[in-house]
Structure 1
Amino acid sequence: MKNKLSDLNDHLFAQVERLAQENLTSDQIEIEVRRGNAIVALADQILRHASLQVQAAKIVSDHGIDPTRYIPDLAASKTNRLLEGGK
């Protein structure tokens, strides 16, 4: 999987670095602020989705079911381990 929550953190900090550049013109700052607002809006949706996945995994776990498949990163790594012959 290419985009993970850790990658989101990198994107957010990259935007902070772009905004912190002291040589930006006011037009460039305006563009970066709009880009930053778009990134924040997308990040918010991504985090809401991740939170929903965690909530679903907790509900499943509370009923004695392995929640791994409800958390994509864990499901992918568990599938990879099984394919490689591990547990």
Structure 2
Amino acid sequence: MPTPELTLDNLRRILTEGAGADENVDLDGDILDVPFEALGYESLALLETGSRIEREYGISLDEEVLAVVNTPRALLSSVNAQLRAAAV
């Protein structure tokens, strides 16, 4: 069975479902290195995003992860590293 992976498309969906989307921000664009704050997602929105990722992917994110990741690329990297470690 392949290791589950959080994709950018799934992250976009989770962000939108959890906290909505700022109408001035194009989440469909190249957002990998755009800070979450510039995308309109503050700490509470990221906590909700983390909770949704935990439920959907069956993992438990370290509280510090959401405090230190500041871009979608960093969050994807951290979550996917944890998913790979859990699959071993």
**RCO higher in 1 or 2 (8 Å CA, sep ≥ 6)?**
2
| Larger CA Rg, structure 1 vs 2 | 1
Higher helix share: 1
